[in-house]
Structure 1
Amino acid sequence: MRSIVAAITGRYILLLVLAIIAIGFSIARPETYGTWDNFRSILNTQIPVLFLAIAATLPFIVGEFDLSLAATGAFVNVFFVGLVLKQGWPVWAAVITCLAAALAMGLFNGFAIVRLGISSFIVTLASGTILAGILLAYSGGEIIYGDAPAALTFLGRTSLGGLPLPVIFAAIVSVFLAIVLWGTTVGRRMYASGSNRRAAQLTGIPTNRYLIVTFVIAAVLAAVAGLVLGSRLGSATPDTSNTLLIPAFAGAFLGATGFSAGRFNIPGTVVAVFIVGAAVNGLQQIGAAIWVQPVFNGVVLFVAVALAQWTQRLRAASAKRERLREIEALAKHDAETHSKAPAA
């Protein structure tokens, strides 16, 4: 019975933590926190972080890092808004251009890692820094704002059935990716590539192809985060990446401690992002100082990485014990079969 309770608690621990945070701050600030408008606001404001966290989760699954994601999101945010407000481009043209740029960045990262053999940490750190420099040159380090047309803010400020469109879009993307990763051959091959790439290659899995495609999808998701942010605000800030990177990675690592403990997974990432968002929103409402939010985000990232590594070790130890039991059972079966065999 205890093992069953422990398994259920471990699998759904993130949902429990989210419920505790929501209930606790609702009791502390029932007139402001515990309202549908506030919960809807949390959902909406966390969507850019959610897309970035999902984007970060995918390279983790195949055993790599992508530190350029926040810079990609900020790059797209600045150029999307800038091309429309400063250069007068049609919104659709700006969207296509920004997505194409993100796709090219994903291809660059993937090919540099696969073909040149450079560490993903170095490649994506360098490409992200380059993007940050380009957007600073374009914006001059100043906020881009103006009379935003309705087409620019349509996605970010339109609701359907009481929910903002970005929330609905993010839900569809999250469910689709969760199904792909957990229920298809593609997902199993991605996890296999991340757990033991050499063994995956020996079984015929084209790990390099999966790695490149993963980096492309991650870059496009980061671009979507920038598009959603620009559409919601109708403006762009050059230093956006500084505020998005840590929460996104915290969500990805914290998400690995639930649902499929020890493995990066989409449902865990989604819940973890809203845990961080709900907690930050609550801290702001009880009057926490402005420095509390970055400190909180840093602490969450540290704890999330530690917990993710701990659960991975537990998962590996459990798998090893299960394998040993299988070997012992097989050896026992062979011994019994041998003892029952008639003498020659």
Structure 2
Amino acid sequence: MEKQELSINRSSVETPRSTSDKKTETKQQKRNFFFHILNNKVLIALILLCVFFSVTTEQFLRVDNILNIFLQSAIMGIVAIGMTYVIITAGIDLGVGSVVAVAGIIMAGMVSKGMPILLTILVGLLIGVASGAINGYFITKFNMAPFIVTLGMMAAARSITLVYSDAQTISVYGDPFLKFLRMGEVAGIPIMIIITVLMFILAHYILSNTVFGRHVYAVGSNKKAAELSGINVKRVEMMVYIIAGTMAGLGGLMMTARLGSGTPLAGTNLELMAIAAVVIGGTSLSGGRGTIFGTLIGVLLINVLNTGMNLLNISSHYQGLIMGGVIILAALIDSFSNKKSK
């Protein structure tokens, strides 16, 4: 009886301790998250860049200019979300810009023919899903290099836009739903910005708080070890490419709405800007490391830099040089970080 009572007493003492430990652990995680934010070098760079342009230009802090930066970041941000998942698994997707174009122009064609808008949106998203599934199938089934597979998708999707539209722009400027996406606001905030923010929140939650998110990091860190631990690596890789394709399909809808038309040239170089934003945001090209928050900061930094250079009337000939330097610097930092971790 004494032993039994002793065990009961111990359990009664340990239970509150374990609960307290969990609360302490949760608080510590929150502290670590905010500490990470405060020590994020890219975030500091973004703040310093905003301060610089605020001092050197009068227009930078205007509300319309700030909203314009966020609107410019919306489509790139949506595409960069999918790219983050892919790059964390040590993959790459060069086809997303062309998928944005093909999804957008087919949706524009359907709208111009009077097709129901819900069906049109569904088709656009399914085009993105299909493109991602095709990429994932060839990469996982035949162990092909993601660079080659997605490069082929980039060429094929761009060709489809030219064939479908006969290299012509399809105007849908007057469509009510697309006009709502383009001009609609909630509490003064454009609908496109709201959609983008919600997608970032959802993507962050999945990557940080789900089993799938942990598997994504595990596959990127060490594919062989992930397989040995029981993770279905091929399924994870398939899913990240489908996510990237779906985000490109959504980007196509937003691009068509913003332009008021579908154009075969939409999304040109968008994949490169998305990759740049992801890498600048701290996601490692070697896989296994990265955050959605970092990608958001990377997207904003690129668009703040572009807007600021335009306000300062810096020649476009030099803008590419400056942006290229920023991207190379980010890649260099990533390389040094990987060497330190080893």
TM-score range (shorter-chain normalised) is 0.7 to 0.9
Pair 1:308 & 2:334 matched: yes
| SS of structure 1 residue aligned to 2:91 | coil
Question: Are 1:247 and 1:297, in contact at CA under 8 Å, matched by a contact in 2?
Answer: no
In the TM superposition, 1:1-344 aligns within 5 A as 11-30=39-58, 32-85=59-112, 87-256=113-282, 263-314=289-340, 316-317=341-342
In 2, Cα distance between equivalents of 1:77 and 1:146:
11
Structure 1 pair 80/297, CA: closer, same or farther in 2 (3 Å)?
A: farther
Moved over 6 A (4+): none
| SS of structure 2 residue aligned to 1:210 | helix
- CA RMSD, aligned part only? 2.2
| SS of structure 2 residue aligned to 1:240 | coil
In 2, Cα distance between equivalents of 1:207 and 1:255:
25
Structure 1 pair 307/50, CA: closer, same or farther in 2 (3 Å)?
A: same
How far does the alpha carbon of each residue in 1:276-306 deviate from its partner, in whole angstroms, 9 at most, with x for none? 1001001101111233343343333322222
Amino acid of the structure 2 residue aligned with 1:26: S
Question: Are 2:221 and 2:289, in contact at CA under 8 Å, matched by a contact in 1?
Answer: no
Deviation at 1:90, TM superposition (A): 2.5
How far does the alpha carbon of each residue in 1:185-212 deviate from its partner, in whole angstroms, 9 at most, with x for none? 2211110111111110001011111111
How far does the alpha carbon of each residue in 1:34-73 deviate from its partner, in whole angstroms, 9 at most, with x for none? 1121111100121111111111111111121111111111
In 2, Cα distance between equivalents of 1:11 and 1:191:
22
| SS of structure 2 residue aligned to 1:263 | coil
Structure 1 pair 71/182, CA: closer, same or farther in 2 (3 Å)?
A: same
Unaligned runs of 5+ in 2: 1-31
Structure 1 pair 203/307, CA: closer, same or farther in 2 (3 Å)?
A: same
* TM-score, L = length of structure 1: 0.84
Question: Are 2:108 and 2:172, in contact at CA under 8 Å, matched by a contact in 1?
Answer: no
In 1, Cα distance between equivalents of 2:38 and 2:338:
13
Question: Are 1:50 and 1:248, in contact at CA under 8 Å, matched by a contact in 2?
Answer: yes
Deviation at 1:146, TM superposition (A): 4.9
Compare 168-177 and 130-139 and name the one that shifted more: 168-177
Structure 1 pair 242/303, CA: closer, same or farther in 2 (3 Å)?
A: farther
In 2, Cα distance between equivalents of 1:268 and 1:293:
23
Amino acid of the structure 1 residue aligned with 2:93: D
Amino acid of the structure 1 residue aligned with 2:95: S
Unaligned runs of 5+ in 1: 318-344
Compare 242-251 and 200-209 and name the one that shifted more: 242-251
| SS of structure 1 residue aligned to 2:261 | coil
In 1, Cα distance between equivalents of 2:289 and 2:147:
20
Amino acid of the structure 2 residue aligned with 1:254: I
- Between the two proteins, the alignment pairs up a number of residues equal to 307
Amino acid of the structure 2 residue aligned with 1:15: L
